[in-house]
Amino acid sequence: MKLLKIFSSIRNARSPDIATPPVTAGVAKTNQLQQWAYSPFAFLPRKWEHVRSIDATTFKYYSLNDLLDMLSVVHPEVSLSLWQFLRVANTDIQFKAKNPDGTESKRAQRVLDEMVWKLNHPTDSTSFQRSQGIDKLSLQLLLNAMLRGAMGCELVLDANARMHSIVAFDTGTIYYKTDPKTKRIIPYQWQGLQGQNGYVSLDYPTIFIEAVDEAIDDPYGRNPLASVPAIVAFQLQVLSDLKAALHQVGYPRIHAKLLEEVIRNNAPDFVRMDPAKFTDWVMRIKSDIESQLQNLNPDDILVTTDALEMDLVGKGGTGQMIRTESVIQVIERSLAASLKTLGTILGRPDTSVGGERYAAELKIYSRGIESLQKNVERILERVFTMALNLEGIRGFVDVSFMPVDLRSDLQIVAEKQTLQDVIIAARLRGAISDLEETQLHRANLGLIGLPSDWQQLIEERKRREEQKGGIDIPRHGSPPAT
């Protein structure tokens, strides 16, 4: 039997059958890998479903804002970083209404509480309404600050020129222009309206914008994640090259050697005597064997004649080893730096870092979160101050996030107790008054304002101390708030 017929019969026997079930997952099989593939993200959220997929080769076709929007939900590290940031940064918010002289105003506080309650509990309507609570508003502002480097919201008024709602908008659609007459910077928003070149002026007092780390000559702010696309593209390219290298040298591969003498002896006479026809004869057999071996399933039994010798490339551990730990570590550190986060938050803790250095890094990370919270506090203070003034109340609103604390509850309680002892000691030594002591204690407990009968509570405390025959001295040596 001719050798060509032998290989043809093997090929027909190995042809895939539609009725044959697929190979179970987990079985290693080496396939040809296209070197230019950069592991595209094939699944995008509904907002970007018209794009279908993105990869590193298409990054240049998108704006920074669009690219960050897509990477924030499809790239694992970027998505996890933003997820953890929003969970930690979006703490509870306190609203305090004060008089123009800085003292607390009970009347203004009641009106302010009603406005906050109205935002958290919108009135019933006959149409669909999206939730507009304070928690959601602060989360949108924080997310906008990270993805855009600025945040913006609008105070929506009702027919009576009172606050109806507060709506955040995408500051990535804002463009600034300097008025040649007044030299003021006026924000414009791209809305795509015909007849106005697509830009609409937002020069209204109810529009509020806060930029992150605003430079002197740049009102747009500094985008914290502007360096993410560069390192993500580099990461995808390295992982693609690593995947190709693993397919080439990381797994055993079949090596087939054709015995030219056997092929020549089995070739027809008219082929054997013509060098060109014999070369074509050998190349067709070689191509046929390559096709058969590439389409082998892991459980197939390979049966050949003595015209074909089979072996494994790199058998016995002689293959080249690939050491990529250092490269992957550099990528992970660069990605953490571009995301303004820690390796621990990304699930890659540095085991070589000691406890003191780790605590210092957490403190620095919390300080970065608090700096963005201050931007949110400023914009909410401006919004609610205007809303309070529209209610006919003079004064201003002080907004503050609850502290970002990454410690355990026991450590937090220990610090609160230590601070409480300091406040009591300051009052006993005449450094502060009874009113100031009460305010500090309630602030330490996270309470707003004074109780209506706070003076009576002070008198009751003094009577109890007189009955005991002395003043209760606060204990010292509270557990350290480490």
- Determine what percent of the chain is predicted with pLDDT higher than 90: 26
Q: What is the pLDDT of residues 218-262, one digit of tens each?
A: 899 999 999 999 988 888 888 777 777 766 666 666 777 777 777
Cβ-count burial of 48 within 10 angstroms (0-12 exposed, 13-18 middle, 19+ buried)? middle
Q: Which of 27-31, 150-154, 470-474 has the lowest mean pLDDT?
A: 27-31
Q: Residue 340: inside a domain, yes or no?
A: no
Residue 462 located in a structural domain: yes
| Separation of alpha carbons 315 and 312, rounded Å | 6
Highest mean pLDDT among 118-122, 190-194, 318-322: 118-122
Question: Is residue 381 included in any domain, yes or no?
Answer: no
25-34: burial string, b at 16+ Cβ within 10 Å, e else: eeeeebeeee
pLDDT at 35: 38
Q: 422 lies in a domain?
A: yes
291 or 8, greater pLDDT: 291
In a domain, 156, yes or no: no
Q: How many CB atoms lie within 10 A of CB 85?
A: 22
Confidence of residue 377 (pLDDT cuts 50, 70, 90): very high
The number of C-alpha atoms within 13 Å of 106 and in the hemisphere containing its C-beta is: 3
In the three-class reduction of DSSP (H, G, I as helix; E, B as strand; rest coil), residue 252 is classed as coil
Q: Return d(Cα 154, Cα 207) in angstroms, integer.
A: 5
- Is 392 within the bounds of a domain? no
For 453, the domain range is 410-468
Quick check: is 420 in a domain? yes
Residue 421 lies in a domain: yes
Q: How many domains does the chain have?
A: 1
Q: What average pLDDT does the chain have? A: 79
